[in-house]
Amino acid sequence: MQVEPQAFDRVLSSMCTDPHPAAREAAERFLATNPGDPGTYPNVAALEDDAIAMLGEIAGLSEPAGYVASGGTEANIQAVRIARNRAETDAPNVVMPESGHFSFQKAADVLGVDLRIVPTDDAHRADLEAARRFVDEDTVLVVGVAGTTEYGRVDPVPELGEIARSVDAMLHVDAAWGGFVLPFTDHEWNFSHAPVDTMAIDPHKMGQAAVPAGGLLVRDSELLDELAVDTPYLESTSQATLTGTRSGAGVASAVAAMEALWPEGYREQHVVSQNNAEWLADALEKRGYEVVDPKLPLVAADVPVSTFDSLRSRGWRISRTAAGEMRIVCMPHVNRRMLTSFVADLDRIECRASVPVTSDD
């Protein structure tokens, strides 16, 4: 029996989405290519340059450099690796807000750096006073998150940049999820807003590319030299990526998605997704739940465990924050019809038919 992939019609917690049709088609065409070996696969290697040029434009980087990684995890690990290799300390530490992604735990473990976790403030953003206290001469990297995984918050990136500079550390921005929505907001998050050295930005999340397509951007291509190793048996002579063989599908589909959608398509999608998040937040608030205000298209609400479990048993793919709130990511496949049906199920579970569910799309 052939196993089918899941449908997206009840997926509310994923940070990935149904790829754009052009991205899906490009992924299929480039499935049998390996940008890890650019001497042998020059066409996909050229496409990767296009991908980095477009990612650079999205992220305000004037001379774009970087590569298409397997995802935000690899980009974050590599950013820590660059910072560690560039620094001269024997006891490197990385300063990151508690809202930072768990991939930094992996980076710290693999790379032997100490992770110093800065608390977040009432607005779920890095506490700057604490960050100032935590950095020292052994700090190699300060991390700011632009679109946190749990609450969709943007850390004060320019201020974190100043703190990093004060100890000659690098500044990394993790925009793995937020990078394709933040250009349409007034947040300060990118290379043109602050002295950002490295960034993670994932085409396979809000960018609507097929998995695997992450992005590592660096302010100066020389930073990639910190990662380069010699590659004796390949036609090319060195490699900066963490993976060796990697899928050209991700590269080609990232380019196809960005060509189809940057900037207008992404802008329109952001407006729709943000409206959906606000609609859902409003519907949940009216039902008496405590809701974390959705600054980006991500809603967290304090729903009882029993209700959460009933929703899951009805097939809704939802997840929880570390603090226990239900978390819903308004990705491009999440439309108003889905959310209306979700809220209707919530009402059935809570037997609370008093608030009519309305849909205006």
Phi–psi pair at 309, nearest 5 degrees: -65, -40
Half-sphere exposure of 175 (CA within 13 A, CB side): 32
Q: Which is nearer to ligand PLP, 70 or 269 (CB)?
A: 70
Phi–psi pair at 290, nearest 5 degrees: -80, 125
Least Cβ distance, residue 202 to ligand PLP (angstroms): 5
Least Cβ distance, residue 310 to ligand PLP (angstroms): 27
Q: How far does CA 16 lie from the centroid of its chain?
A: 10
Least Cβ distance, residue 285 to ligand PLP (angstroms): 25
Least Cβ distance, residue 288 to ligand PLP (angstroms): 29
Q: Which is nearer to ligand PLP, 65 or 68 (CB)?
A: 68
Q: Which is nearer to ligand PLP, 111 or 234 (CB)?
A: 111
Asked if 50 contacts 56 with a C-beta cutoff of 8 angstroms, the reply is no
Q: Which is nearer to ligand PLP, 15 or 123 (CB)?
A: 15
Q: Which is nearer to ligand PLP, 174 or 325 (CB)?
A: 174
DSSP of 116-138? EEEPB-TTSSB-HHHHHHH--TT
Asked if 139 contacts 105 with a C-beta cutoff of 8 angstroms, the reply is no
Q: Which is nearer to ligand PLP, 101 or 219 (CB)?
A: 101
Q: Which is nearer to ligand PLP, 94 or 283 (CB)?
A: 94
Q: Which is nearer to ligand PLP, 176 or 194 (CB)?
A: 176
Asked if 252 contacts 245 with a C-beta cutoff of 8 angstroms, the reply is no
Asked if 179 contacts 270 with a C-beta cutoff of 8 angstroms, the reply is no
Q: How far does CA 7 lie from the centroid of its chain?
A: 22
Least Cβ distance, residue 170 to ligand PLP (angstroms): 17
Nearest to 149 by CA among 101, 98, 198, 214: 101
Half-sphere exposure of 153 (CA within 13 A, CB side): 21
Least Cβ distance, residue 148 to ligand PLP (angstroms): 6
Least Cβ distance, residue 77 to ligand PLP (angstroms): 9
Footprint on this chain of ligand PLP (rule: CB under 6 A): 15, 71-73, 76, 101, 103, 145, 149, 174, 176-177, 202, 214
Nearest to 38 by CA among 253, 231, 311: 231
CA 73/CA 176 separation, integer angstroms = 9
Q: Which is nearer to ligand PLP, 144 or 349 (CB)?
A: 144
Measuring CA to CA, how many Å separate 240 from each of 2, 82, 125?
Answer: 38, 10, 32
CA 249/CA 44 separation, integer angstroms = 9
* Count of residues in the chain: 361
Least Cβ distance, residue 94 to ligand PLP (angstroms): 14
Least Cβ distance, residue 278 to ligand PLP (angstroms): 20
Instruction: Assess whether the previous peptide bond of 263 is cis (omega < 30° from 0).
Output: yes
